[in-house]
């Protein structure tokens, strides 16, 4: 257990909880560096295949940047992997699931957007309110949100800083599932179990191909691009195990290598 977060391993799944409920899980530089270390270890551990990110308590997933700490002249040195240790972690091919259990504002929303799947409970509130305090959502928010829900809908949120509830988030397309209050982690674990039914090598290849492919102008360029995780998938034991298990009519035994 860290000073600002704690983790729980469950087989191939790592649950990461931001633990600053007294400030609605807002993150200052020391918390960001601690989380960066947590996700460094997650990325390097071959037995961990999926991470779930949530916030401590019932009020907030994360209220974003700790503005009071910033205004007081606190430590501002950020990790190279970005806010929460993930918003600039572009080389992570393992899936991340956000279990949003309350307020996800500013950097907190950017943390969720940096995840691949967002599960929101009935208490969830999303916004990028940075312009209201003279800032901008530059930890990926102004770039990920338009790519997720389209430019016009994203601009409607970004330029006004307006708050969006979980049901509207699902309609807009950045929330995968809405669940009753208090059930976001349980639902995220269910999503993780579905992912675990698939080859982790295939999951990583797919994630890398999606995100790196989006850097190309069109499908032709994206299809022609070379992906390291796809090459690793083709060389893996799982690449042989999947078809073999299918032909033998049995569940595959994934190795993740």
Q: Are residues 151 and 172 in the same domain?
A: yes
Half-sphere exposure of residue 156, counting CA atoms within 13 Å on the CB side?
A: 10
CA-based end-to-end distance of the chain: 29
Tell me, yes or no, whether 112 lies in a domain. Answer: yes
How many independent structural domains does the chain possess?
2
**Average pLDDT along the chain:** 96
Tell me, yes or no, whether 206 lies in a domain. Answer: yes
Q: Are residues 170 and 213 in the same domain?
A: no
Tell me, yes or no, whether 252 lies in a domain. Answer: no
Catalytically annotated residue among 3, 22, 34, 130: 130
pLDDT tens, position by position, 227-243: 999 999 999 999 999 99
Q: Are residues 150 and 243 in the same domain?
A: no
Tell me, yes or no, whether 253 lies in a domain. Answer: no
Categorize the per-residue pLDDT at 244 as very low, low, confident or very high, splitting at 50, 70 and 90. Answer: very high
pLDDT tens, position by position, 109-168: 999 999 999 999 999 999 999 999 999 999 999 999 999 999 999 999 999 999 999 999
Is the CB of residue 5 less than 8 Å from the CB of residue 32?
A: no
Q: Which residue is listed with tokens 């007294």? A: 22
Annotation says 110 is catalytic: yes
Using a 10 angstrom Cβ sphere, with 0-12 exposed, 13-18 middle and 19 or more buried, the burial of residue 28 is buried
Catalytically annotated residue among 8, 110, 215, 241: 110
Q: Are residues 36 and 116 in the same domain?
A: yes
Q: Are residues 133 and 220 in the same domain?
A: no
Structural domain boundaries enclosing 76: 5-196
Using a 10 angstrom Cβ sphere, with 0-12 exposed, 13-18 middle and 19 or more buried, the burial of residue 198 is middle
User: pTM higher than 0.75, yes or no?
Assistant: yes
Structure-token pair, residue 160? 């006004």
pLDDT above 90: residue 6: yes
Please report the pLDDT score of residue 72 as a whole number: 67
């Amino acid at each position: 257990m860290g000073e600002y977060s704690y983790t729980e391993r469950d087989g191939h799944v790592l649950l990461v909880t931001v633990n600053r409920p007294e400030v609605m899980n807002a993150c200052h530089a020391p918390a960001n560096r601690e989380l960066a270390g947590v996700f460094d270890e997650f990325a390097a551990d071959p037995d961990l295949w999926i991470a779930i990110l949530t916030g401590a308590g019932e009020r907030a997933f994360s209220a974003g940047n700790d503005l009071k700490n910033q205004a007081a002249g606190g430590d501002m040195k950020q990790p190279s992997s970005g806010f929460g240790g993930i918003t600039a972690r572009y080389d992570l091919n393992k899936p991340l699931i956000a279990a949003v259990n309350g307020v996800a504002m500013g950097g907190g929303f950017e943390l969720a957007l940096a995840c691949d799947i967002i599960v929101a409970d009935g208490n969830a509130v999303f916004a990028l309110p940075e312009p209201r305090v003279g800032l901008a959502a530059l930890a990926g928010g102004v770039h990920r949100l338009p790519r997720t829900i389209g430019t016009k809908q994203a601009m409607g949120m970004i330029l006004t800083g307006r708050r969006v509830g979980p049901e509207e988030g699902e309609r807009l397309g950045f929330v995968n599932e809405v669940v009753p209050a208090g059930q976001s982690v349980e639902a995220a674990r269910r999503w993780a179990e579905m992912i675990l039914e698939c080859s982790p090598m295939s999951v990583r290849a797919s994630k890398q191909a999606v995100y790196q492919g989006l850097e190309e102008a069109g499908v032709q360029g994206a299809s022609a691009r070379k992906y390291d995780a796809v090459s690793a998938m083709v060389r893996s034991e799982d690449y042989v195990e999947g078809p073999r298990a299918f032909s033998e009519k049995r569940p595959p035994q994934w190795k993740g290598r």
